[in-house]
Amino acid sequence: MRAGGGRPVGEITRGTTGHNRLRRSDRWTAAVYGPLLVSADRPLVADLGYGASHVTTSELFVRLRRVRPDVEVVGVEIDPIRVAAAKPYERPGLSFVRGGFELPVGRRPLIVRAFNVLRQYGEAQAWEAWDLLRSRVADNGVIVEGTCSEIGHRAAWVTLDARGPRTLTLSARLAGFERPSDLAERLPKALIHRNVPGERVHDFLRDFDHAWALSAPYGAYGVRPRWMAAVERLAGAWPVATAPPLGGRRRWRLGEVTLPWSSLAPDERPSS
């Protein structure tokens, strides 16, 4: 997956989107990378593959402007029809352009969000897309790449920087699942096919389900206390983030859990 020839890099996605579908990742990004936005000179954020509607890009713009009032957000879509449909919603600081993984946004963005973009690609192609995105972000930039359910109640995302993938976050509406492993269907492409015995991500989800089962008595007080007890129990066996900004009780209360990528990563990167 290489940029060149003047053509956008990538394929058109299904384009499914909707109001507040990406609220969970937006909230997390603003909390975790707010200091990065505040300290940057002319911060630019790229929203890659925003889909058939401008709405999630516009929502990201509004949410990040609460953190950094002059942040610029560019929605990037490979489908020219979708770009044309979004153009009427441009305003100062918010724009839409045609493009793909090559990110034709004028300068290197500080943050790239790419949600529900890589689901249709193979595992090796997803790694290649990560490499290309990492070559396009600012030197201290980050990529937030993930997937979510149709209404955003279940989500998972990876953060990457110049060195590669750094963290994995699982996020769920706490009334929206039976057991933590239900989130497996939203794992990023680099992990979703690795949820089999012998792989670390499979072991993690198995242990999370076990911690959830052992925490059942807390369910008498509600699903949130049970989730928090399960995450705290899980942190005794896995390197769950337990301190801000990535972890701790404030983030756990929101239905989140974050781990270092290295604790779940496959032993080998797939060959293309």
pLDDT at 215: 98
**pLDDT given for residue 6 in this prediction:** 74
The pLDDT score that the predictor gives to residue 176 is: 82
What are the pLDDT digits (tens) for 54-108? 999 999 999 999 999 999 999 999 999 999 999 999 999 999 999 999 999 999 9
Query: Each residue of 153-208: pLDDT tens digit?
Result: 999 999 999 999 999 999 999 988 999 999 999 999 999 999 999 999 999 999 99
**Neighbour order of strands in the sheet with 164-172:** 94-98, 72-77, 44-48, 111-115, 142-148, 154-161, 164-172, 256-260
Which helix (H) or strand (E) covers residue 98, if one does?
Answer: strand 94-98
pTM of the model: 0.96
pLDDT the model gives residue 272: 66
Taking only Cα atoms into account, the Rg of the chain, rounded to an integer number of angstroms, comes to 18
State the Cα–Cα distance between residues 159 and 161, nearest whole angstrom. 7
CATH fold for the domain made of 23-261: Rossmann fold (3.40.50)
Residue 135 has which token pair?
């070559």
Q: What is the rounded CA–CA span in Å between residue 64 and residue 12? A: 26
pLDDT at 269: 86
Which pLDDT band, with edges at 50, 70 and 90, does 271 fall under? confident
DSSP 8-state symbol, 187: -
Q: State pLDDT tens for residues 2-41.
A: 665 578 999 998 888 999 999 999 999 999 999 999 999 9
Using the predicted structure, report yes or no on whether residue 121 has a pLDDT greater than 70: yes
Nearby residues of 243 by Cβ (< 8 Å), 6 or more positions away: none
Condensed to tens digits (0 to 9), the pLDDT of residues 231-243 reads 999 999 999 999 9
